Structure 1
Amino acid sequence: MSTPTAPVTPERIMQFAWGYAPTLAIEAALQHRVFDILDESPKTLDEIVMASGASERGLRAILNALVGLDFLRRDGDKYTLAPESEAFLVSTKPSFQGGMFKHTSKQLLPNWLQLNEIVRTGEPARSVNAEDDGSEFFKAFVHDIFPLSYPAAQVLAGHLALGSREGTVRVLDIAAGSGVWSIALTQSAPNVLATAFDWEGVLPATQAMVGRFGLLERYTFLPGDLNTTPFGDGYDVATLGHILHSEGAENSKALLKKTFEALKAGGTISIAEFLVNEERTGPPGSLIFAVNMLVNTKNGDTFSFEEIAAWLTAAGFVDVRTLDAPGPSPLVLATKP
């Protein structure tokens, strides 16, 4: 006896048609401090209205929507945080990841709304990997996305165990942004000195975050362009934290060769990326991020481990490998022989 085939319904299509709604509802809750207010204690709608200053009608709608999405819970007339929100959406906690929602609504969505035309022409809404546009784009949100990479950077620091090495260890943080990768490595051992490389317009944001961690005296800040400014040489570790996807294949190949030349023999490169599988059939998040690169860069894309490994090998690296770490994909590591 054959198993009946489940009927095809439009339910999943309708969910995607409203796919923008959870993002904007969470951001509205963040903007009106809902998660911070509920972190103090469970509260009624009236109490949240009083604490936030937002309207009763507006809050009722988004609070109930967030209950339906399981970002909030309700017991009687009191709302409380779900565990996920308590961990990641309270702005006073180091694990806070709500800054990504502001970045999405203020910087990404206006560009994505041009997607029909971008697909027709192949030209992005903006090119964030060009300095005149990119400096403003990145300095506005690098602090907000620091928590996204910090756990992975700490795993990298533990794996490299730089404190067990004799003498000074030099780290090159390429396109440093918030400095998250070099901050974790510098925190891990007193013998680590870091060079943060980025556009001149972004480095003040890097300096501010490094200063927040009390590490300024162990840093050098090097302004310049990825393609034209020399990195120097003699580094023990070089990090490329979510950079290749904005550069595209050809620029990435050249950047990996340039990084190879900046490392000393035995040096390690660490790459963080949104990896896709070799067939480009998944994972969905990395495939969607490739569309984000279509929207926001001239040549950006997402790549597979196999592609990046081939580029690293061509640049002269050996022992290309992965390191499991929190984030969208494992880190890709390789060694200069």
Structure 2
Amino acid sequence: MSEKPELPDPTPILELGSAFAASRVLLTAIELDLFTLLSRSPLTASEIAEKLGLHPRAVPDFPDTLLALDVITREGDGPEARYANSELSAHYLVKGSPAYRGDFFEMCGKRLYIFWGHLTEALQTGRRQNEGHPRSGGKELWKGIYENDEKLKGFIAAMSANNTAAHRVFAKTFDWTNVSTHLDVGGASGQLSCEVAKANPGVRSTTFDLERVSRIAMRNIEAQALSGKVEVMPGSFWEDWKCAKVDVVTMGQILHDYSLPKKMELLKKAYEALNQGGRFVALELLIEDDRRGSVPALLMSLNMIVETGLGFDFSVKEFDVWAKKVGFTRTERLELLPPMGAVVAYK
């Protein structure tokens, strides 16, 4: 009688299939501002429950789950054990920290976590699941996200928190030789322009976004003492992009929002806005040409179905074809700070 073949270990798919639970624990801890609380002093489980207004049943399971996920640490065992931040949470999840990423995770918890619950519908219908869905009011995408100042500030802060480090790398490592003018299209908080100005004093950088967004950019620029070094151009890049030609045009996670015809329209606008010899740079989560890895980029591309319906992320190979169709002569990839990369098109 032959032996039954040994079954493969199901642990990886079990962990993947329930990963939403671990994600929700982290997002809830950020929503409750647990990490800022622990930055002041280590606390027992009962002290955490008291200070955060938690039900007694929530502890010690809640902090012990974060401990098991390596997000916090614990000294001792039992009721008198004290919890503190891990190196990662102390660095990235404490409000006021220079590298704070909590704004991004708050946006994930308040918006994306809910919308991704409808991924099946998004895949079956191609219809966005965010504020534009009938169940959420059927608003136009950006009007839904920007419907009030608080929501707008939260979204812009989330984008800035997640991208600033990569913008800094780009500003320092991109070849700015013989560049005097730079335009960042869809510049949001203006942070990319700020990083360019700080790293390259000889470059005059302009951030271009909608009027309400531009007011946030102005405040950010003033806070960094960069007024006069970074210009703000309010307007829609679909309707109001009529500025003088520049040496470098950038778009940070703008192209992936749109369908291919819209992508081509933006590429054409970028081409026409450049001086001869100028460069267009798209900062994106790039999918590898063979589409066999690139998990963050592929998840982001699925997120574009959830958020926009027709938007998608892309590979360098795809970008190269599109760029050459509108007149660019060649393209190349830049490595920034994973998972963010960039692709450059030369005029």
Which TM-score tier does this pair reach, normalised by the shorter chain? 0.7 to 0.9
Name the structure 2 match of 1:143.
Answer: 157
SS of 2:184's equivalent? strand
| From 180, 187, 192, the counterpart of 1:181 | 192
Aligned partners of 2:320 and 2:330 also within 8 Å: no
Kindly tell me: are residues 145 and 132 of structure 1, through their superposed partners in 2, closer, same or farther at Cα, counting changes over 3 Å? closer
CA deviations on 1:174-210 (whole Å, 9 max, x unpaired) are 0111222111001123333222211223222222222
SS of 2:157's equivalent? coil
CA deviations on 1:99-140 (whole Å, 9 max, x unpaired) are 222111211122222223323322112459844334346543
**Could you tell which deviates more after superposition, 292-301 or 227-236?**
227-236
CA deviations on 1:218-240 (whole Å, 9 max, x unpaired) are 33332333333224232122111
Query: Which amino acid in structure 2 is aligned with residue 61 of structure 1?
Result: D
SS of 2:260's equivalent? helix
**Could you tell which deviates more after superposition, 248-257 or 130-139?**
130-139
Name the structure 2 match of 1:110.
Answer: 114
RMSD: 2.5
Aligned partners of 2:24 and 2:109 also within 8 Å: yes
| From 132, 136, 148, the counterpart of 2:143 | 132
CA deviations on 1:258-290 (whole Å, 9 max, x unpaired) are 111111122222211121122333222222222
CA deviations on 1:30-61 (whole Å, 9 max, x unpaired) are 23332123223433224434554544443532
1:299 matched to 2:303? The reply is no
Kindly tell me: are residues 294 and 264 of structure 1, through their superposed partners in 2, closer, same or farther at Cα, counting changes over 3 Å? same
Name the structure 1 match of 2:23.
Answer: 23
1:35 matched to 2:35? The reply is yes
1:121 matched to 2:125? The reply is yes
Kindly tell me: are residues 270 and 5 of structure 1, through their superposed partners in 2, closer, same or farther at Cα, counting changes over 3 Å? farther
SS of 2:37's equivalent? helix
Name the structure 2 match of 1:98.
Answer: 102
Structure 2 gaps, min length 5: 133-138
CA deviations on 1:68-92 (whole Å, 9 max, x unpaired) are 1111121201222222222211222
Query: Which amino acid in structure 2 is aligned with residue 66 of structure 1?
Result: L
Please report the TM-score for the alignment, with normalisation by the length of structure 2. Answer: 0.85
Kindly tell me: are residues 211 and 111 of structure 1, through their superposed partners in 2, closer, same or farther at Cα, counting changes over 3 Å? same
Q: Distance in 2 between matches of 1:42 and 1:131?
A: 42
Paired-residue identity, %? 27
Aligned partners of 2:286 and 2:297 also within 8 Å: yes
1:191 matched to 2:202? The reply is yes
